[in-house]
Amino acid sequence: MGEFELIARYFDRPVQRAVLGVGDDCALLQTHANTRLAVSTDMLVLGRHFFADVCPFKLGHKALAVNLSDLAACGARPLAFTLALSMPAADEAWLEQFSRGLLALADAHGCELIGGDTTCGPLTICITIFGEIPVLAGRSLALLRSGAVDGDDLYVSGQLGDARLALDALRGQVTLPAGVLEKARARLEMPTPRVALGLALRGIASAAIDISDGLLGDLGHILSSSNVGATVYVDVATSLIAARAEAMELSDGQWRALALSGGDDYELLFTAAPSRGQAVSDAAQASHTPVTRIGHIHAQAGLQLIDRNGVPQPHVYQSFDHFASDASER
Amino acid sequence: MGEFELIARYFDRPVQRAVLGVGDDCALLQTHANTRLAVSTDMLVLGRHFFADVCPFKLGHKALAVNLSDLAACGARPLAFTLALSMPAADEAWLEQFSRGLLALADAHGCELIGGDTTCGPLTICITIFGEIPVLAGRSLALLRSGAVDGDDLYVSGQLGDARLALDALRGQVTLPAGVLEKARARLEMPTPRVALGLALRGIASAAIDISDGLLGDLGHILSSSNVGATVYVDVATSLIAARAEAMELSDGQWRALALSGGDDYELLFTAAPSRGQAVSDAAQASHTPVTRIGHIHAQAGLQLIDRNGVPQPHVYQSFDHFASDASER
């Protein structure tokens, strides 16, 4: 199977909203008037972002999910994406499953594959995604990292830490009961991008980011962009680990590390004024996405952790850094 | 040096035309009214698209040049691009040179780096590029592969075959005098995207493509998309190899293979009605880009090669296919 047959068989589909899709030198997109185009790109590398034995259907899902999560964090409506794929060989069984996982999630979000590139090489997936954000009175409704202000509440969607727990188990660093591993592994391999919540939070959230490198690390980006500090309620964050409800022998410190710096959560972390509390609840309900208040923003710089009694806790957590010396395979 | 320091040091620059550049979950682009957005993506893999010892400045140039060439083939004006970069380690000397080569070409075309991703892994570069194409009376002025019609002339810009000659020399398959190698190698490593010509050909060319996989292979895409056939003047095409003017001991067959199926030329191959011949010449002159008529389009399907005496020549040339069994390293 050659390059062009491969594209035709697995990735070339009827054009939906794009003016021109797969098959020319460029794809052509027509954006609506009074919108801005949100663009994000992510590259997934074998041995770094996924294991060699990962199910290709799930890998297809995840490759797009992490990009949809970026759109969600900006409050952008998914529009289209390109796929660049490097593979050691054109493995038909693998491509069949990978493309199904990828396109099933794409269809669920009305996000169209409009172009790409395939080449022979180490397994690497690069997706660039496009979304639309309306502009009102000359200002876009994009959720940015830079809008948090003194007094805002800090919220996170869904669960924390379970993806990292699964990763630790797959690396043999912890042992999990089969049922617990299965559920945690679904969080690692099939993350749910919070697109509907991101759309519902337009005009409500003051700042937002998606959690890929760990809660505290990604919160740090909001703090530095917004020039504010935050206090995080450690016990509340830790309660968001679904696996914690199971009978498991991990120390308090281990649970905290999972929730605060686990990474791969792909949840939305966002801020909103206390006066918008009801609007946040309504957005959560409308998007069928649980949201929990896990802290607050203050003018004083820095990141403070407190427990349920208000006692300050040590901040010993590191964000994931792809080029740090301790960045082992993930 | 960590991931975020790396981005800040080499890739984060003041925003020019974008609404929001590097540093949030998404970049934000504002396209003009009555335009379409052209999107293309290319992935370059070590050992496949470039050698390990390639100069990083030149690699940065080429990575963007091949994407600009796709915009040129659509007649799109460069607007912005994203860069996803996988590297074994954050090598500062390498990054310094790579980013300089990349951004020098970007600046020359007013094409802004608006976002990206960096990760640790095998050296892989994925660029997604955006350009604008005006819409007139509801129709975009995009140059597509599908517009060639019976009677059109077939043109190519610039030179053919020298890039492939350099590749063959670097692989040790031919031996070249130092001066010849140097010039040919510049064509391989620092291709010139024909952006100005692509813009000048809007409304003049009936179909266009850029030559990456070889003249005849890429012509095949125009023919199948346009549902026409073509006759190519083999001796004219072969005369476009600059190295042919040097004293070199290659057979006629070798020269022909270089011109007709060499690949990596990044020239524009396009068609236009005979009545637009003067307009093509004017576009070539305005864009300071040589253009040569190398054949014509006919209704009868198929690809015919003829020599200077009109005698049919055998078509024994293969297009480059990344997944074909003979696709050795390039």
Q: If you write DSSP's letter for every residue of A126-151 in order, what string do you get?
A: EEEEEEEEEEETTEE----TT---TT
Is there a contact between A59 and A50 (Cβ–Cβ < 8 Å)?
Answer: yes
Residues of B in contact with A195 (CB under 8 A): none
Give me the pLDDT at residue A151, please: 98
Q: Any residues with CB less than 8 A from the CB of B90 and at least 6 apart, and which?
A: A323, B1, B2, B3, B6
What stretches of B242-282 adopt beta strand conformation (E)?
Answer: 268-272
B148 — contact with chain A (CB < 8 Å)? no
Chain A touched by B8 (CB under 8 Å): no
Residue B307 has pLDDT above 50, yes or no: yes
Query: Residues A297-325: what's their mean pLDDT?
Result: 85
The answer to whether B31 contacts chain A (CB < 8 Å) is yes
pLDDT of B329 strictly over 50: no
Taking the model in full, what pTM does it have?
0.91
Average pLDDT over residues B59-83: 95
The residue-averaged pLDDT of B171-193 equals: 93
Query: Quick check: A43 and B71 CB within 8 A?
Result: no
The least confident of A88-92, B156-160, B164-168 is: A88-92
B115:A225 CB<8 A: no
The whole-number pLDDT of residue B239 equals 95
**Min Cα separation A236/chain B (Å):** 25
Angle B92-108/B3-10 helices, nearest 10 degrees?
40
pLDDT for B102 equals 96
pLDDT value of residue A23: 63
A323/B1 CB distance under 8 A: yes
pLDDT class of A47 with cuts at 50, 70, 90: confident
User: HEC states along A197-225?
Assistant: HHHHCCCCCCEEEECCCCHHHHHHHHHHH
- The shortest CB-CB distance from A86 to any of B43, B146, B208 is to B43
Band the pLDDT of A328: cuts 50, 70, 90. Answer: very low
Domain B145-313 belongs to what architecture? Alpha-Beta Complex (3.90)
> Taking the domains of chain B in order of start, what are their residue ranges?
3-140, 145-313
CB-CB neighbors (< 8 A) of B131 in chain A = 26
Residues of B in contact with A27 (CB under 8 A): 38-40
Determine the distance in angstroms separating the CA of A38 from the nearest CA of chain B, rounded to an integer. 5
Has residue B192 got a pLDDT over 80?
A: yes
Give the tokens for residue A309.
Answer: 């009694």
For the residues of B52-80, what is the DSSP string, one character each?
Answer: TTS-HHHHHHHHHHHHHHHHHHHTPEEEE
* Phi–psi pair at B221, nearest 5 degrees: -65, -40
Q: For residues A234-264, b (16+ Cβ closer than 10 Å) or e, as one string?
A: bbbbbbbbbbbeeebebeeeebbbbbbbbbb
Cβ contacts below 8 Å, chain A against chain B, sum to 233
Measured distance CA(B177)–CA(B169) in Å, rounded = 10
Chain A: nearest CA to B210, how far in angstroms?
8
pLDDT tier for residue B43 given thresholds of 50, 70 and 90? very high
Residue B225 contacts A, CB cutoff 8 Å: yes
Nearest-CB residue to B48 (from A36, A80, A120): A120
The one-letter amino acid code at A303 reads: L
Contacts of B74 in chain A (CB under 8 A): 24-26, 28
Among chain B residues, the shortest Cα distance to A81 is held by B39
Separation in Å, CA A115 to CA A83, B198, B220:
7, 20, 19
| Lowest-pLDDT choice from A15-24, B136-145, B283-292 | A15-24
The answer to whether the CB of B116 falls within 8 A of the CB of B106 is no
Q: Which of A25, A45, A115 sits opposite B86 (nearest CB)?
A: A45
The C-alpha atoms of residue B166 and residue B177 are separated, in whole angstroms, by 11
Contacts of A278 (CB under 8 A, 6+ apart): none
Mean pLDDT computed over A273-289: 98
**Matching fold, domains B3-140 and B145-313:** no
B168: part of which helix (H) or strand (E)?
A: helix B162-170
The distance of Cα A300 from the centroid of its chain, to the nearest Å, equals 28
- Give dist(CA B117, CA B8) in Å, integer: 12
Strands (E), chain B: 27-29, 35-45, 77-87, 112-120, 124-136, 139-140, 153-157, 207-210, 229-233, 268-272, 291-298, 303-306, 312-313
Mean pLDDT for all residues in chain B: 90
Q: How far apart are CA B292 and CA A224, in angstroms?
A: 56
Q: Residue A330 — pLDDT band, cuts 50, 70, 90?
A: very low
CATH of A153-313, one of 1.25.40.10, 3.90.650.10, 3.90.79.10, 1.10.3720.10: 3.90.650.10
B35: tokens are: 């335009």
**pLDDT at residue B234 is higher than 90:** yes
Structural contact between residues A37 and A78, judged by C-beta atoms closer than 8 angstroms: no
Q: Which residues 258-297 in chain A show a CB within 8 A of chain B? A: none
Q: Is the pLDDT at A319 greater than 70, yes or no?
A: no
For residue B328, with 0-12 CB atoms within 10 Å meaning exposed, 13-18 middle and 19 or more buried, which class applies?
exposed
Check B41 against A116: CB less than 8 A apart.
yes
Which architecture does CATH list for A3-140?
2-Layer Sandwich (3.30)
Higher pLDDT, A18 or A107: A107
